[in-house]
């Protein structure tokens, strides 16, 4: 019998069949064998590559721990003045010895708070209340490709005789490094690819309970959730005293929420059981809360450069090398002198641009997915008649593979999101290679330098050259654990 609805006629479909087909819309991917094989290949490739790259990061961290096993003495004048940088070595060589022609020290008057090309318009004008930072490894001062590029060390040598202000780093001084950003992307990518394996189980696959390794990954995911909220509360309480929180942690919770409906965790629940729906809703709510908190953290990190990240040690200024026209009280009152924006090379900036693209892609994708899922859930449980009409359309579109294409689009979007973590390896390895020559003494790192022309004073920040792993202090073990728990 032909029915009419909203001016359209259609043949009624079997209601039980329609509901089954609708349920499959968000269930495991049931596609043809060849297509499933191709999707499985993409998933296994991503899983193996992500695992291999995470192994590289683990080996790098182990090498740092083995090379510098003893705690770093942060109470020494050497560390308080120069941290883990080569600034002292650069001061001890005259500017004319750095290159030919000699370095023009008037470049210090330019705006050097950039990774490559400084703003030369500052030169020759009164400094006024300007804040001077040197936050790049070298600078292009002309358009000639063969013209000399003054390096960080070259310009640091121009500050010989200036008063070096001692300080103690706060937790906020340990900013985001390319290695940490990469590990955050890889952790979420690895857990995602492993979960997607459950989506690709064929329709005839026998449901099996979780194995020991499954429980380990579940504990890891839950641990990430708890660890992240601890880090976020610490950060939200006082951003100037805490490390930046990971902006990828919420994606692991999203992955955990999705995994409830797939093998092996789906084997513990009836398909439409209240427990399963309740757990799924609770985890999606947790993911949404974490996503909202992440958006707040992203906004806070936009003003990170203005945060004071070091405490001035006024008692050590008199004995510090160099001379200044300002008193210790005056120097410590200049809060901007202890903000030291994050040090970045051009390669670092390129790598972190990939990171930002991946982060914002995921941040934009999640609410779209959550809205569509919520709409279908509301229709299904609160408006059953409208849901039946939707189910009819699902069954009718089966001939045209509408459901299959919907599934492919959905998982292709998720796959692209996680592949960003793998693509990040390209700028990471093609740019400035990671340094493995960890040293307890004679540090070789570069860092942002803040300096005041009127006072002839300079403050040196900590160096991210070795991703802060060369500093066995300020809870280095906890910083490593935070990377692995995406916090």
The pLDDT value recorded for residue 400 is 43
Strands 163-164 and 457-460: parallel
The pLDDT value recorded for residue 75 is 93
Taking only the tens of pLDDT, the chain with its 487 residues reads 444 434 444 344 444 444 554 555 444 555 566 667 777 888 889 999 999 999 999 999 999 999 999 999 999 999 999 999 999 999 887 665 545 567 788 899 999 998 778 888 888 888 878 899 999 998 888 776 566 788 899 999 999 999 999 999 999 999 999 999 999 999 999 998 888 876 665 544 566 778 888 899 999 999 999 999 999 999 999 999 999 999 999 999 998 988 887 778 878 877 677 888 889 889 999 999 999 999 999 988 888 889 999 999 999 999 999 999 999 999 999 999 999 999 988 888 888 888 888 899 889 988 888 887 777 777 766 777 776 666 666 555 554 455 556 566 666 777 787 888 888 888 888 777 788 888 767 788 999 999 999 999 999 999 999 999 999 999 999 999 999 999 9
Which two structure tokens, joined as six digits, stand for 276? 């399963």
Bond before 379 cis per omega within 30 degrees: no
The pLDDT value recorded for residue 199 is 65
The pLDDT value recorded for residue 460 is 98
The CA-based angle 193-196-198, given to 5 degrees, is 130
Phi, psi of 252 (to 5 degrees): -70, -35
CA 485 to chain centre: 12
The CA-based angle 375-380-384, given to 5 degrees, is 125
Q: How many CB atoms are located within 10 Å of the residue 118 CB?
A: 22
Place of tokens 């790098």: 60
The CA-based angle 58-243-293, given to 5 degrees, is 100
Phi, psi of 288 (to 5 degrees): -65, -40
Strands (E), 282-441: 310-312
Dihedral sign for Cα atoms in the order 222, 228, 229, 231: positive
Burial 319-331 (b: 16+ CB within 10 A, else e): ebebebebebeeb
Q: Give CA–CA dist 387/383, Å, rounded.
A: 6
The pLDDT value recorded for residue 461 is 97
Q: Model pTM?
A: 0.85
3-state SS, residue 466: coil
Phi, psi of 459 (to 5 degrees): -125, 130
């Amino acid at each position: 019998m032909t029915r009419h609805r909203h001016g359209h006629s259609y043949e009624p479909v079997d209601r039980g069949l329609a509901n089954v087909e609708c349920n499959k819309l968000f269930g495991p991917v049931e596609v043809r064998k060849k297509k499933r094989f191709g999707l499985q290949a993409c998933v296994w490739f991503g899983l193996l590559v992500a695992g291999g790259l995470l192994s590289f990061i683990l080996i790098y961290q182990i090498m740092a721990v083995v090379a510098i096993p003893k705690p770093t003495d942060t109470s020494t004048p050497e560390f308080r003045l120069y941290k883990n940088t080569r600034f002292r070595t650069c001061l001890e060589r005259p500017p004319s010895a750095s290159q030919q022609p000699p370095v023009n020290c008037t470049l210090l008057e330019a705006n050097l708070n950039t990774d490559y090309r400084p703003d030369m318009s500052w030169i020759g004008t009164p400094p006024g209340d300007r804040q001077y930072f040197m936050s790049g490894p070298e600078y292009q001062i002309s358009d000639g490709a063969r013209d000399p590029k003054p390096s960080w060390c070259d310009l640091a040598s121009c500050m010989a005789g200036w008063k070096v202000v001692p300080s103690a780093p706060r937790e906020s001084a340990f900013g985001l490094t390319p290695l940490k950003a990469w590990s955050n992307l890889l952790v979420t990518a690895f857990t995602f690819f492993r979960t997607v394996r459950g989506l690709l189980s064929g329709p005839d696959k026998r449901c099996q309970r979780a194995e020991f390794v499954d429980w380990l990954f579940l504990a890891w995911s839950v641990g990430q959730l708890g660890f992240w909220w601890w880090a976020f509360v610490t950060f939200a309480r006082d951003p100037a005293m805490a490390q930046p929180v990971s902006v990828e942690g919420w994606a692991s919770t999203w992955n955990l929420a999705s995994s409830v409906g797939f093998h092996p965790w789906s084997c513990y629940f009836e398909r439409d059981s209240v427990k399963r729906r309740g757990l799924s809703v609770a985890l999606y709510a947790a993911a949404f809360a974490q996503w909202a908190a992440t958006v707040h953290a992203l906004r806070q990190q936009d003003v990170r450069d203005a945060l004071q990240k070091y405490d001035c040690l006024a008692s050590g200024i008199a004995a510090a090398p160099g001379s200044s026209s300002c008193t210790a009280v005056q120097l410590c009152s200049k809060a901007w002198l202890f903000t030291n924006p994050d040090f970045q090379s051009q390669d670092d900036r390129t790598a972190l641009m990939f990171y930002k693209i991946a982060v914002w892609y995921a941040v934009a994708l999640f609410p779209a997915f959550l809205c569509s899922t919520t709409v279908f859930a509301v229709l299904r449980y609160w408006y059953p008649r409208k849901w039946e009409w939707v189910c009819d359309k699902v069954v009718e579109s089966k001939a045209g593979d509408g459901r299959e294409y919907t599934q492919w689009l959905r998982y292709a979007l998720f796959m692209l999101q996680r592949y960003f973590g793998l693509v990040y390896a390209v700028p990471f390895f093609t740019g400035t290679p990671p340094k493995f020559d960890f040293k307890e003494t004679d540090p070789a790192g570069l860092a942002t330098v803040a300096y005041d022309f009127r006072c002839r004073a300079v403050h040196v920040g900590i160096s991210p050259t070795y991703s802060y792993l060369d500093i066995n202090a300020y809870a280095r073990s906890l910083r490593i654990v935070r990377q692995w728990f995406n916090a």
